[in-house]
Amino acid sequence: MPESVSNITAQMPRAKLAGLLLFFLGPAVAIYTLFSIYPLVATMALSTYTSDPSGARYFVGLANFETLLGDALWSKPFWNAFGNNLIFFAVHMCVQNPIGIALAGLLSLPGLRLKGFYRTVMFLPTMLSVVIVGFSWNLILSPLWGVASGALKAVGLGSLFAPWLGLESSALVTLSLISVWQFVGIPMMLIYAALLNIPEELIDAARVDGLGHFRIFFHIKLPLVLPTISLVSVLTFVANFNAFDLIYSVKGALAGPNFATDILGTFFYRTFFGNQLQLGNPTMGSAVATVMFFIILLGLCLYLFLVQRRVRRYAF
Amino acid sequence: MRRTFKAAMGAEVAALALLAGLASAQAGSLKIESWRNDDADIWNSKIIPAFNKHYPDIKVEFAPSAPKEYNAALNARLDGGTAGDLITCRPFDASLALYQKHQLDAVDGLKGMDNFSDVAKAAWQTDDGKTTFCVPIASVIAGFIYNKEAFAKVGVSEPKTLEEFHAVLEKFKKDGTYVPLVMGTADQWEAATMGFQNIGPDYWKGETGRANLIAGKEKLTDPQYVAAFKEIASWAPYLGSGFQAQTYADSQNLFSLGKGAIYAAGSWDISTFRGQAKFAMGAFPPPQPAGTTDCYISDHTDIAMGVNAASKNKEDAKKFLEWLTTPEFATIYANSLPGFFSLAKTPVKVEDDVAATMVGWRQNCKSTIRNSYQILSRGTPNLENELWNVSAQVVNGKLTPDAAGKQLQDGLDKWYKPAK
């Protein structure tokens, strides 16, 4: 069938084809250019300027980037934020995605009752506003009136409780886990949808061969949904390196204690918009945003060239 | 260039005055930009009606933004030419930058500006003190608010010295009914603003120390600053359990629910507590360190108002600003918002007893503004951000007082060269 479509387009007069293309692609290209490409290019352009107290801007080439990566005053907080961001990502990869896969596996078990109910409940946090999530968890974990310390005491583990969100050693991991709790529904849904696509005959054949649920999952289902899992990983990577809102709503723009929860998003926000007496610096902020863009771009390229090409897809 | 600019401005003002004169029968309108969205009700129901009694033809609209977004939103609106006619001014550099970008007009010529002292105006002046660009509205005072019932129950009275202060805290700790001192470090600024800047001025002698710091004659590693850090570090055992994760809202709730004895306070907390707390409250100024006689309080200039240089209705905007300098406005403001104190020289009668107590400290103690605010928070690293960070760490016990002073001074030395 595809051949016939290209035959049709080949026989079409040039002008008509161009008109058709413009009609179908034009709106999308226009909107994408206006709201994605233009801001991106404008940000990159702005990052090559600096401004003086009167507000006038001067072109400085790559000087902002030299300062950001070469001057310890800027590079130290930048690499600190980058490191924290890697931890944030690692927690999501090691906790969120395995749990998402496991939940999807459980949901796709034949004969499970109340499937729709579980699916909705587990997806609910994803739909909550991040401010509500941050506020609720702040209260749950509060050492003053949170339920966490009471719940731990009730099972005899009261001594394990600590003000996790306030300690340098645990604040970042705690926040990462809150984010995992909120977003675990997304890998679950995507992988669940992929699992549903696996033909019943394959599963039936495996069962006839004498495999249990567990081995069916690991040897049949999991390899078949690997492309989806790698897609989920990439989505996680992009979302994590753009993350900002949860940290900001729980810890504020100064991401304490001692910048232990500072990630690239909050570092960018402080630089671009300022904080308390620190005045916003849009040109330097744009440089931070540009570096963030290249970090994500680099991550995506690595994924495309090293992972995507090797993932085998099965057509049913 | 400057001159032509000024001449153009003059011409513009004259033209506007003419227009205003011609259109005087027509109602002018003013829009106020502010971050005080909490106060919208008071502006709409009390302040603006009072202004309209004098100028019934000027329609005033109070259009606040959320405090966190205010600076960014205001700058965007000023750059885009859609900002209101009257701009509520943050203290120091944020507003100075607007003046330098010619987005705020000078207000020196206004009637009533002589009703403010130099310290009151300092937050909205050029560095040389020659030009003022906002009319001062209010300051906030730091100190300690306490639960009178708790004090009566445990049998202690207001501490005058730090020694007495520690004895009181110790007594509350032994008693165990109340959290002795309510302050958290999760939001960091509590430790800096209500800790370090609250008890500190007695150590560095208020304005004297602040001026010396700017002049480079004192360093943050000097004993008086380290001693202030030592003092706040010694509070940790008296704070609520898990204070490292206690946010500012937690602190407010802890005290207003009657679970805390002493609250490291800013006067702006008074109106919140009035609405929520069911017990009698009192206030005492920062207790004095051993061997000091003069007392100092952090009486921080916080709010002012200026004219948008691009406003189309400057004549009316100036009328409004001139009205802000009158005792009538000061009385309405100070009493509708207890805890925000008028900066005018004419004394204002404050009805709220806690607010009256706090403003009464001005009689015996010398006022000073927070030492990190003027000039010193202009570079990278930003001194105020650093101060939040190290103060919280000192209270958390993660940083020694000496190391805190060193980190601040090292950061300052990287960019700040005092004028010789």
The ipTM value here is: 0.87
Interface touch B241/A143, C-beta < 8 Å: yes
In A164-316, where do the E strands start and end? 274-275, 278-279
State the pLDDT at residue A278.
87
CA distances from A304 to A37, A299, A314, B312 (A): 21, 9, 18, 56
Tell me, yes or no, whether A55 lies in a domain: no
Mind telling me how many Å the CA of A144 is from chain B's nearest CA? 7
Number of domain units in chain A: 1
Interface touch A143/B246, C-beta < 8 Å: yes
A73 CB near a chain B CB, below 8 Å?
Answer: yes
| A2: pLDDT strictly greater than 70 | no
The H or E element spanning position A57 is: strand A57-59
Q: What span, in angstroms and rounded, lies between the C-alpha atoms of B104 and B86?
A: 9
Q: What span, in angstroms and rounded, lies between the C-alpha atoms of B334 and B360?
A: 13
A269 CB near a chain B CB, below 8 Å?
Answer: no
> Nearest-CA neighbor of B117 among B346, B295, B298, B376?
B346
Give the residue from A57, A71, A144, A175 with the most B CB atoms within 10 Å of its CB, the best one to mutate: A144
Of all residues in chain A, the one with the smallest CA distance to B381 is A73
Q: Sorting pLDDT into bands at 50, 70 and 90, what band is A155?
A: very high
Mind telling me how many Å the CA of A275 is from chain B's nearest CA? 8
CA within 13 Å, CB half, B56: 2
Interface touch B382/A273, C-beta < 8 Å: no
Interfacial residues of B (vs A; Cβ cutoff 8 Å): 71-72, 75, 92-94, 97, 100-102, 185-189, 240-247, 250, 254, 372-373, 377, 380-385, 388-389, 392-393, 396, 398, 414
Three-class SS string for chain B?
CHHHHHHHHHHHHHHHHHHHHHCCCCCEEEEEEECCHHHHHHHHHHHHHHHHHHCCCEEEEEEECCHHHHHHHHHHHHHHCCCCCEEEECCCHHHHHHHHCCCECCCCCCCCHHHECHHHHHHHECCCCCCECCEEEEEEEEEEEEEHHHHHHHCCCCCCEHHHHHHHHHHHHHHCCCEEEECCCCCCHHHHHHHHHHHCHHHHCHHHHHHHHHHCCCCCCCHHHHHHHHHHHCCHHHCCCCHHHCCHHHHHHHHHCCCEEEEEEECCHHHHHHHHCCCCEEEECCCECCCCCCCEEEEEEEEEEEEECCCCCHHHHHHHHHHHCCHHHHHHHHHHCCCCEECECCCCCCCCHHHHHHHHHHHHCEEECCCCCCCCCCCCCCHHHHHHHHHHHHHHCCCCHHHHHHHHHHHHHCCCCCCC
Tell me, yes or no, whether A292 lies in a domain: yes
pLDDT tens, residue by residue, B261-308: 999 999 999 988 988 889 999 999 999 999 888 999 999 999 999 999
State the pLDDT at residue A280.
86
Of all residues in chain A, the one with the smallest CA distance to B74 is A273
Residue in B72, B100, B245 nearest the CB of A165: B245
A167 CB near a chain B CB, below 8 Å?
Answer: yes
Interface touch A256/B384, C-beta < 8 Å: no
**Radius of gyration in angstroms for the set of CA atoms belonging to chain B, rounded to a whole number:** 22
Q: What span, in angstroms and rounded, lies between the C-alpha atoms of B22 and B33?
A: 27
Residues of A in contact with B188 (CB under 8 A): 252, 254, 256-257
Tell me, yes or no, whether A12 lies in a domain: no
> Nearest-CA neighbor of B134 among B111, B104, B103, B101?
B104
pLDDT tens, residue by residue, A95-116: 999 999 999 999 988 788 898 9
Residue in B245, B381, B392 nearest the CB of A141: B245
Could you tell me if B392 and B192 are in contact, meaning their C-beta atoms sit under 8 angstroms apart? yes
Interface touch A162/B241, C-beta < 8 Å: no
Mind telling me how many Å the CA of A171 is from chain B's nearest CA? 9
Tell me, yes or no, whether A15 lies in a domain: no
Mind telling me how many Å the CA of B93 is from chain A's nearest CA? 7
Mind telling me how many Å the CA of A138 is from chain B's nearest CA? 9
pLDDT tens, residue by residue, A242-259: 999 999 999 999 998 999
Of all residues in chain A, the one with the smallest CA distance to B404 is A258
Greater confidence, A92 or B70? A92
Q: What span, in angstroms and rounded, lies between the C-alpha atoms of B78 and B87?
A: 10
Q: Sorting pLDDT into bands at 50, 70 and 90, what band is A213?
A: confident
pTM: 0.88
Mind telling me how many Å the CA of B364 is from chain A's nearest CA? 30
- Beta bridge mates, B161: B288
- Pair of tokens at residue A192: 């669940």
| A168: pLDDT strictly greater than 70 | yes
Tell me, yes or no, whether A7 lies in a domain: no
State the pLDDT at residue A101.
95
- Beta bridge mates, B33: B63, B87
Interface of A with B in 2-61 (CB under 8 A): 53-55
φ, ψ (nearest 5 deg) of residue B24: -60, -25
Mind telling me how many Å the CA of A126 is from chain B's nearest CA? 25
Q: What span, in angstroms and rounded, lies between the C-alpha atoms of A304 and A124?
A: 32
Amino acid of residue B44: N
- Pair of tokens at residue B318: 């100036």
Residue in A143, A252, A274 nearest the CB of B245: A143
Of all residues in chain B, the one with the smallest CA distance to A57 is B101
Q: What span, in angstroms and rounded, lies between the C-alpha atoms of B250 and A166?
A: 13
Tell me, yes or no, whether A238 lies in a domain: yes
Tell me, yes or no, whether A250 lies in a domain: yes
Residue in A256, A270, A279 nearest the CB of B188: A256
Residue in B377, B385, B398 nearest the CB of A168: B398
DSSP A51: E
Residues of B in contact with A273 (CB under 8 A): 71-72
Tokens 């040039």 belong to residue: A14
3-state DSSP helix/strand/coil % of chain A, to nearest 5: 75, 5, 25
Tell me, yes or no, whether A137 lies in a domain: yes
Q: What span, in angstroms and rounded, lies between the C-alpha atoms of B355 and B339?
A: 5
Could you tell me if A251 and A171 are in contact, meaning their C-beta atoms sit under 8 angstroms apart? yes
Of all residues in chain A, the one with the smallest CA distance to B182 is A144
Could you tell me if B162 and B234 are in contact, meaning their C-beta atoms sit under 8 angstroms apart? no
Interface touch B384/A254, C-beta < 8 Å: no
Pairing of strands B281-284, B341-342: unpaired
| A6: pLDDT strictly greater than 90 | no
Residue in B75, B243, B392 nearest the CB of A256: B392
Could you tell me if B173 and B229 are in contact, meaning their C-beta atoms sit under 8 angstroms apart? no
Mind telling me how many Å the CA of B216 is from chain A's nearest CA? 20
Interface touch A142/B372, C-beta < 8 Å: no
CATH of the domain at A207: 1.10.3720.10
φ, ψ (nearest 5 deg) of residue A76: -65, -55
Could you tell me if B327 and B114 are in contact, meaning their C-beta atoms sit under 8 angstroms apart? no
Size of chain A, expressed as the number of residues it contains: 316
Distance of CA B210 to the CA centre of its chain: 16
Range of the domain at A157: 74-310
State the pLDDT at residue A315.
63
Residues 6+ apart with CB under 8 A from B155: B171
Per-residue pLDDT of chain B (420 residues; tens, 9 = 90+): 344 444 444 444 444 444 444 443 345 899 999 998 888 999 999 999 999 999 999 999 999 998 878 888 898 899 889 999 999 999 998 899 999 999 999 999 898 999 998 888 989 999 888 999 999 999 999 999 999 999 999 999 999 999 999 999 999 999 999 999 999 999 999 999 999 999 999 999 999 999 999 999 999 999 999 999 999 999 999 999 999 999 999 999 999 999 999 999 999 999 889 888 899 999 999 999 998 889 999 999 999 999 999 999 999 999 999 999 999 999 999 999 999 999 988 888 899 999 999 999 999 999 999 999 999 998 889 999 999 999 999 999 999 999 999 999 999 999 999 876
